[in-house]
Amino acid sequence: MSKTPILLLGPTGYLGSTVLSRLLAHPKKDTFEVTVLIRSEDKARKLETFGVKPVIGSIKDTALVEKLAEQAHVIFNIADSDDMGATKGFLAGSKKRHKKTGDVPVIIHTSGTGIFMFAGANNGLSITDRIFSDDDAEDIDKSTPDSALHRNVDLVVLKADEEGYAKTYLVLPSTIWGVASNPIIDAGIANKFSIQVPAMIRAAIGRGQAGIVGKGQGLWNGINVNEQAEFYVTLYDAITTNPSAVGHGHNGYYFGENGEYTWYELAKAIGKALVKRGLSTSDEPTTFSKEELIKYFWTEEISGIWGSNARVKAPRARSLGWQPKLTIEDFLASIDAEVEAHLKHQKA
């Protein structure tokens, strides 16, 4: 029996390694031929022991990405959502495959609900009432400007579906939370930390007090890393079981969320964890200065993410049978352990 050729980009990442671990534990794993692109020869050798085929290289090598994509029926892109070169590479490979074989590849591309930050202030001073739903593609497409975060790449992926040489599915996680733990991370191959929460933790530790942009008045959704990874498998299973019932292209937006939090609530949880460890005298967050925004969040413009609104709901994702159970209360309760994990990581 021939195996399904799968290409996964981002195998050493926080989310990518978690998805890869789920695929390797899948009941039909013996029918998969999973190829991953990885820069490190040492990590490639370790990955081989998991039964995957590692290829040494980078997503910056567009020709290599194209070549690997041409060999794949299914592509999971869980690498950099904003890498246009890599995206054009795997799309070109899929187009070649379609032209040569007639196969219509499945492309599951990772974007993010950050595309909706345009719909509310990003200065931490207000909460928007604008909420996007993943089952209202018309609203998403009409309302989202081409200049929105990730959107330029998303549009290129959507065009591939429009042209008919691939079926594309856009997965848009919200704030992914939790310290990841899976066999690939345990083997020293992958990263166990996300981006948004760790950045706030590092800033709080660095300044000795939890911080917020403005008043911390912005709303985002959250989703646990394991439950977000599980959605990729749910989506894949739905596509392979009954593809006609699974929306793709402009009807293939799938959000990852299970509740909302304010940036103030997150900062307050970090503050409590610092006080508990004697690293701060107050758990009350204070406003970041301009200098701190640049120091801890790369640039003042990027720091706006931590004071923005990006509100969504995910009925389309849930319609596939995905049922996330961990709540925002679980998220905030997890911050204490994540602060501890970062402190240990700093000492290592």
Q: At what angle do helices 196-207 and 263-276 cross, to 10 degrees?
A: 50
- What is the spatial distance between Cα 205 and Cα 223, in angstroms, rounded to a whole number? 24
Specify the pLDDT at position 347.
85
| Residue carrying structure tokens 């990581």 | 345
**CA atoms within a 13 Å half-sphere pointing along the CA-CB vector of 292:** 20
- Which of the residues in the chain have pLDDT under 70? 1
φ, ψ of residue 181 to 5 degrees: the values are: -145, 120
Can you give the C-alpha Rg of the chain in angstroms? Answer: 20
| Residue carrying structure tokens 């990003």 | 122
Dihedral sign for Cα atoms in the order 319, 322, 325, 327: negative
Specify the pLDDT at position 105.
98
What pLDDT, in 10s, does the model give residues 248-275?
999 999 999 999 999 999 999 999 999 9
* Residues in Cβ contact with 214 at an 8 Å cutoff, skipping those fewer than 6 apart: 123, 124, 125, 287, 307
Using a pLDDT cut of 90, give the percent of the chain over it.
98
Specify the pLDDT at position 76.
98
- What is the spatial distance between Cα 257 and Cα 255, in angstroms, rounded to a whole number? 6
φ, ψ of residue 226 to 5 degrees: the values are: -70, -40
DSSP label of 307:
G
Please check whether residue 124 is in contact with residue 293, taking contact to mean a CB–CB distance below 8 angstroms: no
Considering the segment(s) 4-123+130-191+221-258+314-319 as one domain, its CATH architecture is: 3-Layer(aba) Sandwich (3.40)
Of the candidates 263, 259, 262, 261, the residue with the CA atom closest to the CA atom of residue 204: 263
Question: Which DSSP string do the residues of 163-229 spell out, in sequence order?
Answer: HTS-EEEEEEE-EEES----HHHHTT-S----SHHHHHHHHHHHHTS-EESTT-B-EEEEEEHHHHH
- What is the spatial distance between Cα 98 and Cα 119, in angstroms, rounded to a whole number? 38
Question: Within its chain, how far is the Cα of 266 from the centroid?
Answer: 19
Vertex 171: Cα angle to 235 and 30 (nearest 5): 40
Please check whether residue 119 is in contact with residue 106, taking contact to mean a CB–CB distance below 8 angstroms: no
Token pair listed for 23: 């695929």
Domain boundaries, the chain: 4-123+130-191+221-258+314-319, 196-219+260-311+325-347
Specify the pLDDT at position 346.
87
